[in-house]
């Protein structure tokens, strides 16, 4: 799932799904709690986000490609991550010693976050802290953050895809 178009070496594989968020219409979460209390598991805003969060839920491996701003996800990726709240319940569990929301059918996943647009070590450290927090709330069984430049994004993603292809077949 990327916040910009990618030139992928592999586009077609039965277990691979590529989402370019920059070409989708996804509006901001309004915080209505509808996906928890009115239509559980389903967002009441019927734009492109409901086509995306089911993939987030069922994937055992995710690769997110995002620009970094102020040590966090830039707006395109952040908008989608907020709209993925329907895959959680309102109800609370105790997970890794903290209170967190119960996940619906969300596969534990290996997450790789490819982050570009940041060369500042302080900002990179903050982004790592954010992803570690996400791990608790987004069911990451393991996670890795890779910082790269905008020019190197395609290469970085394609290297990960090659590794995935090798390990899958």
Partner 1 sequence: MGNIFILNGSPRASKSNSKQYAEIFSKNYLQETIYKAISKTNQVQLCRELSHYSDVLFVFPLYADALPVGLLHFLKTLETNLPEHKPTVSILINCGFLEPEQNEVAVKIIHLFCRRNGFPIGSTLMLGSGEAILKSPFKYIAIRNIRKLAKCIASGNHQTIQATMPLPKFLFRLAANKYWTKYGQKFGITKKQMQTMETEG
Binding site for partner 1 (CB under 8 A): 28-33, 36-38, 40-42, 50-51, 53-55, 57, 69-75, 78-79, 81-82, 84-87, 89-94, 98-100, 102, 104-105, 122-123, 126, 129-130, 133-134, 137
Which among 60, 78, 88 has a CA at the least distance from the CA of 115? 78
Tokens of 89: 């319940």
Q: Give the sign of the dihedral formed by CA 52, CA 128, CA 149, CA 75.
A: positive
> What residue ranges in the chain does DSSP mark as E strands?
61-69, 72-73, 88-95, 98-103, 109-116, 140-148
Q: Residue 121 CB, nearest distance to partner 1 (Å)?
A: 12
Identify which of residues 89 and 148 has a Cβ nearer to partner 1 in the complex.
89
The nearest distance, CB 137 to partner 1, in angstroms, is 6
Minimum Å gap between C-beta 57 and partner 1 is 5
The least distance separating partner 1 from the CB of residue 101, rounded to whole angstroms, comes to 8
> What are the two backbone dihedrals, phi and then psi, of residue 106, each rounded to the nearest 5 degrees?
-110, 115
Whichever of 69 and 160 has its CB closer to partner 1, that residue is 69
């Amino acid at each position: 799932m990327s916040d910009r178009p990618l030139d992928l070496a592999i586009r077609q594989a039965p277990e691979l799904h590529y989402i370019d968020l920059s070409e989708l219409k996804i509006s901001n979460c309004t915080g209505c709690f509808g996906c928890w209390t009115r239509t559980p598991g389903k967002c009441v805003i019927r734009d492109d986000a409901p086509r995306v969060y089911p993939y987030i839920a069922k994937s055992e491996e995710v690769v997110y490609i995002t620009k970094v701003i102020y040590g966090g996800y830039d707006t395109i990726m952040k908008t989608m991550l907020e709209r993925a709240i329907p895959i959680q319940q309102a109800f609370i569990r105790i997970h890794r010693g903290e209170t967190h929301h119960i996940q619906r059918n969300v596969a534990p996943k290996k997450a790789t976050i490819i982050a570009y647009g940041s060369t500042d070590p302080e900002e990179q450290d903050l982004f790592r802290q954010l992803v570690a927090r996400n791990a608790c709330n987004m069911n990451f069984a393991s996670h890795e953050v890779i910082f790269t430049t905008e020019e190197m994004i395609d290469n970085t993603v394609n290297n990960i895809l090659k590794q995935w292809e090798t390990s899958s077949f």
